[in-house]
Structure 1
Amino acid sequence: MDRMSPDLGTVQETLLIPLYARAVETRKENALLRDPRAEEIVASLDYDFRRFDGLPSLLGSLLRTRLFDRWASDFLGAHPEATVVEIGTGLNTRYERVDNNLARWFDLDLPDVIGLRRNYFTDSARRTMIAASVTDEEWTSEVADTAGPYLFLAEAVLPYLPETDVRRTVDLLADRFPGSLLALDTAGPGFFDTQEDHDALGKVEARMRWYCPDPGQLTDWRPGSEVLASHTLTSLPGPLLAELPVPYQEMVAAITAQHLPQAEGYRLNLVRLT
């Protein structure tokens, strides 16, 4: 079978890191999560994934995904017929993992990513791909035509934008979808300043551009907004940690004991926007 070369922009290439993490994890006996579609996609791509083999940050990517999955599941548990928007969807498969057969989903990303994504996924009555930049207001009209409430998931996306674009995105979501939830990651001290030495980012050209030492900054931008949760990879919610296979619980405990600046400077956040 001929493999496809992913023709992606510099930042967009980073989507291949979590894709590979999920594919590799799926093959393990006691997997943190399973994603057979990721395995199929990796096998079909002509790309040197070996550069990411054995990297510790793949575990971080998986833990982040598990938390975002949990937030999505909790949201749909409370609002079964709500709308979920994956901002910077990449080749993510959260829909396959947590969809409840009732919710409306949108997969939003830049045209080159959606072009690649369409080789593996198709639109349906409840799931639609949108090729646009998150900072463009036009895409919000299609989402606004669906029923709320709304959950926006921006996993490994916003830190790669300049702060002006992040602020524009937050304002856009808050203005068009007041009361919506936004899940996002932020890069602060110990992480943002060590990107060149990061085990995975050091192997690609993309670099994070938005420095955010305190997620509370978002509530300064939008008074009345609220940070509902903020976790480092070493301070994940107890119920989520308890669900992990024992070897992974031990790994997280070992990382926690080391007080690594990179682990402490990277946060996963859930914000209510007003």
Structure 2
Amino acid sequence: MAIDATRLGEVQETLLITLYGRAVETGKPRPILRDPKAVEMVGAIDYDFGRFDGGRSLFGTVLRTSIIDVWVREFLQRHPDGTVIEIGAGLNTRFERVDNGHVHWVDLDLPDAMAVRSQFFVESDRRRLLAASVLDDSWVAVVKTLPGPHFFISEGVLVYLEEPQVRRALTLIAENFPGADLAMDTTGRWIIEHQDRHDSLKQVSARMRWACDDPAEVERWGIGLRLLESGDLSRIPAGLRARVPVARRIALRVTSLVLRQRFGRYRLNHYRV
């Protein structure tokens, strides 16, 4: 029986874009990421994924998630028994991709998204599926029971919130998890103002809200986050570079230089509390 995704909220529906991106990438002769679980899920969900076909942003979502995978693996090399918290986990399969056999993991998402997720994933002694909003501090007590240090991931999530909500979410992390790492993306104002042209977003109702032209601005909020690393999608880590075709790397770099006020304002950022 096909799984109905029509009850997902507007923002939660965007998880289907990234899911489809990974499934499409997996079908390529030389994918930068292999995700057979994504292919399985696309086949099981009753949804018109074809609306996203041909969009260049699909590869962008795969590259983004692959870069964050590298950061998580580096974290687990330093802290193999630590805990990773995926904020807005959607239908991501990062645990399956990076599991070292020791890490503790929390998939956190809103109840409607978690209801779909629970059709494909189950809890274990090292993995929790937690239905809650990142703005609701109920999740904090659960995560505190798991061993540190902690690595929080927000991929394509906080950009859909208003700035006061983003501050609320990050403050919960900073006040409760000293020493934690945080990976999150930020989007510049030009992109926010022109998102109706975006090849995937124009196919859904959700709209990004939080504009951040300078990721260092989060440091100036005074909540205790320090920016360690920031770059656009042309900044591909060494461990991933060989899997990205040369022509694609060149195109990303040229786009970054020529369209810096647009492309370059979308950033992947690594913070530490």
Q: Report the TM-score, using the length of structure 2 for normalisation.
A: 0.95
Matched with 2:149 is 149
Q: Which shows bigger deviation, 2-11 or 221-230?
A: 221-230
Find the counterpart in structure 2 of residue 5 from structure 1.
4
Q: Does 1:227 align with 2:227?
A: yes
Answer yes or no: is 1:90 the counterpart of 2:111: no
After superposition, the Cα gap between the structure-2 partners of 1:204 and 1:251, relative to the gap in structure 1 and judged at 3 Å, is same
Letter in 2 for 1:64: R
Q: Is the 8 A contact 1:234 1:263 kept in 2?
A: no
Q: Match for residue 236 of structure 1?
A: 236
Matches within 5 A, 1:125-164: 125-164=125-164
Q: CA deviation at 1:234?
A: 2.2
Q: Which runs of 4+ in 1 moved over 2 A?
A: 222-225, 234-262
Moved more, 257-266 or 199-208: 257-266
1:43 maps to 43
Structure 2: how far apart are the matches of 1:226 and 1:23?
A: 35
Q: 1:213/1:14 Cα in 2 relative to 1: closer, same or farther (>3 Å)?
A: same
1:72 match = 72
What RMSD in Å do the two structures reach over aligned CA positions? 1.5
* Aligned residue in 2 for 1:119: 119
- CA deviation vs aligned residue, 1:68-93 (integer Å, no higher than 9, x gap): 10110000010000000000000000
Post-superposition offset of 1:258: 4.1
Listed as ranges, the gaps of 5+ residues in structure 2 are none
SS in 2 for 1:84: strand
Match status 1:105 vs 2:108: no
CA offsets 1:29-79 (integer angstroms, 9 cap, x no match): 110111000000000111011110010111110110011101100000100
Query: Which sits farther off after the overlay, 185-194 or 245-254?
Result: 245-254
Deviations 1:136-183 (A, max 9, x none): 111110110111000000100001011111001111001110111111
Q: CA deviation at 1:235?
A: 2.9
What residue is the counterpart of 1:183 in the other structure?
Answer: 183
2:152 partner SS: strand
Give SS of 1:209's match.
coil
Q: How does 1:256-267 map to 2 (within 5 A)?
A: 256=256, 258-259=258-259, 261-267=261-267
- 1:200: how far off? 0.8
Structure 1 counterpart SS, 2:55: coil
CA drift at 1:238: 4.5
CA distance in 2, matches of 1:142, 1:48: 36
Matched-pair contact (CA < 8 Å) for 1:189–1:261? no
* Residue in structure 1 matched with residue 22 of structure 2 by the alignment: 22
For 2:113 and 2:231, how far apart are their aligned partners in 1?
28
Equivalent position amino acid for 1:207 in 2: R
Deviation at 1:250, TM superposition (A): 3.9
SS of the residue corresponding to residue 209 of structure 2 reads coil
Q: Is the 8 A contact 1:3 1:45 kept in 2?
A: yes
Compute the displacement of 1:233 (Å).
Answer: 1.3
TM-score, with structure 1 as normaliser: 0.95
Q: Structure 1 residues 240-249 or 29-38, which shifts more?
A: 240-249
How many pairs are equivalent? 272
Runs of 5+ unmatched residues, structure 1: none
Identity between Structure 1 and Structure 2 (%)? 47
Residues in 2 aligned to 1:11 and 1:93: alpha-carbon distance in whole angstroms:
19
Return the offset for 1:260. 5.9
Which segment drifts farther, 173-182 or 248-257?
Answer: 248-257
- Inter-partner Cα distance in structure 1 for 2:125 and 2:72: 20
Corresponding residue for 1:172?
172
Going from structure 1 to structure 2, the CA distance change for 1:86 and 1:223 (only over 3 Å counts) comes to: closer
3-state SS, counterpart of residue 194 of structure 2: helix
